[in-house]
Amino acid sequence: MNKDQAIDAFTALAHPTRLEVFRLLVRIGPEGLPALEISRKLGTKPSTLSGHLSILKRAGVLNATRYQREIHYAANLKSVNALVQFLIADCCGGQIENCSEIVALLEAN
């Protein structure tokens, strides 16, 4: 992940509704949810949610898959992992062994 991609991801997540959508989809897992179900669970209007989902998808933190007439959204965990790796790439001046707690969390996932 490069700096511009990281900035796009952070920008997309820097909104309360989008962060709530992302956290919901992380909890749900790789199967994701249809857009209307996300709207229902979060109590947001479908028309408003549509724009938020587009921003998150464009930033690469969500995947969208069409199932017949529905679009299912899921957290793009590979992209999020790359974002975390980007954040800790220079951890402790490159002395990654000093970041053992962070590394242990990443390896557990």
Amino acid of residue 89: A
Question: Can you tell me which residue has the tokens 């975390």?
Answer: 84
Instruction: Please write the tens of the pLDDT for every residue from 18-68.
Output: 999 999 999 999 999 999 999 999 999 999 999 999 999 999 999 999 988
Extents of the domains making up the chain: 3-108
What's the 3-state SS for the chain?
CCHHHHHHHHHHHCCHHHHHHHHHHHHHCCCCEEHHHHHHHHCCCHHHHHHHHHHHHHCCCEEEEEECCEEEEEECHHHHHHHHHHHHCCHHHHCHHHHHHHHHHHHHC
Question: Which band of pLDDT confidence, cut at 50, 70 and 90, is reported for residue 9?
Answer: very high
Predicted confidence (pLDDT) at residue 14 exceeds the cutoff of 70: yes
Kindly report the pTM of this predicted structure.
0.83
What is residue 102's predicted lDDT score, i.e. its pLDDT? 66
Fold (CATH) for 3-108: Arc Repressor Mutant, subunit A (1.10.10)
What is residue 93's predicted lDDT score, i.e. its pLDDT? 73
Instruction: Please write the tens of the pLDDT for every residue from 60-72.
Output: 999 999 988 899 9
